[in-house]
Structure 1
């Protein structure tokens, strides 16, 4: 029998995601990313910025001990009502190879598919990195020297808040980054579900506000549709929740009321999103609200975007 040919062993590479990359930590800092790429033989222009975004119902935490940095580095953990700020990047084959190497994939960090919310309330699927469960510390760690400052610089570079990072670095419980909820239908004062809004807490505040979009008439209740005619506004109320537990109590009830089953499920009538609510004085405030799901059929538009006025007319 002739000897077998010396055939090189085929190396199986991990699949390359077809989704954009969501960065929430040190990779937000462009100079630091370029420095790492140059030091490790990768081109520096591999990541193309798309837009800032928010990772809903997650918060950042120092849960990985990094030997190379000499202390704790960031992970993300589920947290109802929080929203981790970051940015979306277009990433090709070489970019994912560089990211995987930098993040120690798959043994230190794992890739995870998530839904992020863009500035205009659109939802996009993306890939990010979470610490491998076997490497994740049960307790919060002290940040590695200079690491928190690096991430802070990256957040500022993209015009994003540093509140969650600052709280995690200090080892304290973060307040709700977005403590406001905008309602526009049966949760309004005088409507059948207004009692739910008491969950916002004794120190809750309520004021008139509006958001960009169009209001559709689903019969006994309305629905917010993002987009619509230029300048279209939906009128409603902006509620301030007194603390994170109050916000979580309210959102857990409203998610049930609106049939929202989480960002990994797309079968609900509504989706919880983030939108800029405009107060009567013109100031804008990010707020949680509920929009119609992409699969929800279109319905007649309420032209003035005012459910209470429509309710009074019918």
Structure 2
């Protein structure tokens, strides 16, 4: 059984996704409206998540994943301890045809009580590679990074 998955962070990196989930297919791209990107985490590191925000926009890729791919993603994302899954209705643009389709797909969202943090440069660059691949506005990702840096500085 195949499911549709919304990627917004390191899973925009096609090479990494194909290694982790060999059966995935890229369906298209979308703008997730009413959400924002945040870097949050734990002592082991900070990673991207999304949270509701009026007027927010997050560029995303829609992947079609097999059951075994989803299990591999669950392990990678630390589901259900670190991230939970949420079904979101959105419209995406097909990569091959350019047609727009409305779908329900799942996203991994970090538990909201996690603290804002600063990611490693390796993780940030992995996400930036995905932004380059899909011609997303990198400023959205860089703004999330800048906001995290500022919030962490203010806590000191």
If the TM-score is normalised by the length of the shorter chain, which range does it land in?
A: 0.7 to 0.9
Counterpart pick for 1:144 among 106, 120, 145: 120
Residue-pair matches, total: 143
What is aligned with 1:55? Answer: 32
Match of 2:64 in 1: 90
Q: Which ranges of structure 2 fall in alignment gaps of 5 or more residues? A: 94-98, 149-156
Q: Which has the higher strand share?
A: 2
Structure 1 length as normaliser, TM-score? 0.43
Which residue number in structure 2 is paired with residue 153 of structure 1?
129
Of 104, 108, 118, the residue aligned with 1:125 is: 104
Contact kept, 8 Å, 1:64 with 1:75, in 2: the verdict is no
Determine the structure 2 residue equivalent to 1:27: 11
Per the alignment, in what secondary structure is the counterpart of residue 117 of structure 1? strand
Q: Which has the higher helix share?
A: 2
Q: Secondary structure at the match of 1:115?
A: strand
Q: After superposition, give the CA deviation of every residue in 1:124-145 in whole Å (9 maximum; x if it has no partner).
A: 21101001245x11xx311223
Distance 1:20 1:61, change over 3 A: same
- Larger of the two Rg values belongs to structure: 1
1:99 to 48, 73, 76: 73
Question: Contact between 1:66 and 1:73, CA under 8 Å: does it hold in 2?
Answer: no
Secondary structure, aligned partner of 2:121 = coil
Inter-partner Cα distance in structure 1 for 2:17 and 2:64: 15
* SS of residue in 2 equivalent to 1:82: strand
SS at match of 1:45: coil
**1: distance between equivalents of 2:74 and 2:112?**
17
The answer (yes or no) to whether the contact 1:22–1:128 under 8 Å persists in 2 is: yes
Which residue of structure 1 lines up, in the alignment, with residue 146 of structure 2? Answer: 170
| Deviation at residue 30 of structure 1 after TM alignment | 1.7
Structure 1: distance between partners of 2:107 and 2:124: 19
Q: 1:164 to 1:27 in 2, by over 3 A?
A: same
The Cα RMSD (Å) is: 2.0
Structure 1, unaligned stretches of length 5 or more?
1-15, 38-43, 173-314
TM-superposed CA distance for 1:86, in Å, is: 1.0
Does the CA contact (< 8 Å) of 1:111 and 1:128 recur in 2?
yes
Higher relative contact order structure (alpha carbons within 8 Å, sequence separation ≥ 6): 2
